[in-house]
Structure 1
Amino acid sequence: MPDGLRLALTTFTVLPVRAGRVDRAAAARAMTLAPWVGAGLGAAVGGAVALLHAVGAPDLVAGAAGVALAALLTRGLHLDGLADTVDGLGSYKSGPAALEIMKRPDIGPFGVAALVVAVLLQAAALGSLSGTAALLAGITAFATGRLAVTWACRSAVPAARPEGLGALVAGTVGTAELVGATVPTVTLAVFAVPGRPWQGPLALAVGLAASLLLVRHAVRRFGGITGDVLGATVELATGLALLVLVLG
């Protein structure tokens, strides 16, 4: 298995894949492949929600189970990153002081609030869908969340720390790789809502735009991205994409 694919799977999933070479070249490939890993995760989550609906589970139960499965398949790392990032931003501190808050093992009130909103939003959105609609929405939203990571790792974005995941992947994705990851994901999104070919790309655009604003703010406040910021972009883009996909 290519080292980039190994790194993508070990970074974004709990799949028991043997680690390969870990360097910036492998990181660039892994971040480019991120949307496809997200699509696979979304297929698993959306399929589980569809199956639960098929056996008579209530909407919220099916949606909550889908969110729980997503957390299980990703070790909950993205949710943890969301909480830490919001705590850092909510502290109104900048630079090393904010980064130190994000490294703490506890979660502050801002982080807790962010987790509650994110989990409730995703559970309610997923639970409102059934059958093929749940499967397609899951694929599109989770691919969007990981595409947000690809964009966060583009060459213009620095790392906030000299070590950690952020330092490994920041600035590794060039223009060609960015286009190569974005175009297929947008094409996939066209099929997210049967009969509405515009709604999937719109959902992707909304989720990606929000994540880009978050990254821009993180660079201004923290000096760059960290692994926690990448996790926050995943959850923000995924949640907003799901919200747009269930509208109408």
Structure 2
Amino acid sequence: MPDRAIDALRMALGTLTALPVPAPRVIDRSVAAGAMLLAPLAAVPLAVLAGLVVLAGDALGLPALAVAGIAVGAVGLASRGLHLDGLADTADGLGASFDRARALEIMRRGDSGPTGVATLALVLIVQTGSLAGAISGGHGVPAAVGGVLVSRWVLALCCTRGVPSARPDGLGAAVAGSIRLPWTVLTLCAAAGLATLVPGLPWWRGPLVVAAAVAAAGLVLWRCTARLGGITGDVLGACVEFGATAAWLALAP
């Protein structure tokens, strides 16, 4: 594997999971773009963890809601709560005031206000309830695995050329606009194509899930770009969590 690809995978794993990996030797625009494109691959351990939790819960005869809650919590812990923290901070920033600088300052602080806490709680409730519905419907494992992977696939959309950074520094500045549009289209089409092969689901259900996740993340991306002037690392986390929520909702029935 080329050195830059290795650095991109290290950046993706080190940023998006709690796995201990060596730091990338070089971080530049091409490595950052590669890391975001490899985000679904980096999320495979998280997806496997979620699937194993559902399998274990089913074997033990645990209630679907409890199993879903444990799976969602396990994924959150295995990603160091990074995306959940981003969701809460983004909600606080968007709800703060109409002043862009003030909103970004609130997001930078890292402490969660009432808007962030309420948003975080509501999203986790919907995620858990939706995954519980999929478990009760008999397709809990593919739903758990698919929701985690698809939600990371949306990062390509968030980092497409033309999407600016809200700040001159931070993760958002490193990855904003780093992916060329053809690569974004290609990777999302690949996600939809692979989704047709999900066992236990009709062929059209998987692409619908991908479309739902992309639409939800795209809505958050549009709002944050208009309100904040671009993306930050927190915004990326919010897009991931909304993507996962939409994916599990689409898989719930």
The match for 1:220 among 206, 226, 241 is 226
Partner residue, 1:16: 20
Residue 154 of structure 2 aligns to a residue whose secondary structure is: helix
The match for 1:170 among 170, 176, 193 is 176
Q: Displacement of 1:203 after TM fit?
A: 1.5
Partner residue, 1:233: 239
Moved more, 40-49 or 213-222: 40-49
CA distance in 2, matches of 1:242, 1:193: 16
Moved more, 31-40 or 224-233: 31-40
Q: Displacement of 1:212 after TM fit?
A: 0.8
Cα deviation digits, residues 119-156 of structure 1 (max 9, x gap)? 11111222334497222112221122112111000001
Q: Displacement of 1:51 after TM fit?
A: 1.3
Q: Which amino acid aligns with 2:116?
A: G
Does the 8 Å contact 1:12/1:74 carry over to 2?
Answer: yes
Cα deviation digits, residues 196-231 of structure 1 (max 9, x gap)? 111121111111112111111111111100000000
Note closer, same or farther for the CA distance 1:94–1:49 as it changes in structure 2 (3 Å cut). Answer: farther
In structure 1, list runs of 5 or more residues that go unmatched.
Answer: none
Matched, 1:3 2:22: no
Partner residue, 1:121: 126
What percent of counterpart residues are identical?
Answer: 41
Does the 8 Å contact 1:13/1:75 carry over to 2?
Answer: yes
Corresponding pairs, count: 247
Q: Which amino acid aligns with 1:37?
A: A
The match for 2:144 among 125, 132, 138 is 138
Moved over 6 A (4+): none
Does the 8 Å contact 1:43/1:136 carry over to 2?
Answer: no
Q: Displacement of 1:89 after TM fit?
A: 0.8
Matched, 1:41 2:58: no
CA distance in 1, matches of 2:120, 2:146: 21
Does the 8 Å contact 1:37/1:143 carry over to 2?
Answer: no
Q: How does 1:76-91 map to 2 (within 5 A)?
A: 76-91=81-96
Q: Displacement of 1:193 after TM fit?
A: 5.9
Q: How does 1:45-194 map to 2 (within 5 A)?
A: 45-130=50-135, 133-192=139-198, 194=200
Note closer, same or farther for the CA distance 1:94–1:207 as it changes in structure 2 (3 Å cut). Answer: farther
TM-score (norm 1): 0.94
CA distance in 2, matches of 1:100, 1:112: 18
Note closer, same or farther for the CA distance 1:92–1:191 as it changes in structure 2 (3 Å cut). Answer: farther
In structure 2, list runs of 5 or more residues that go unmatched.
Answer: none
TM-score (norm 2): 0.92
Does the 8 Å contact 2:17/2:43 carry over to 1?
Answer: no
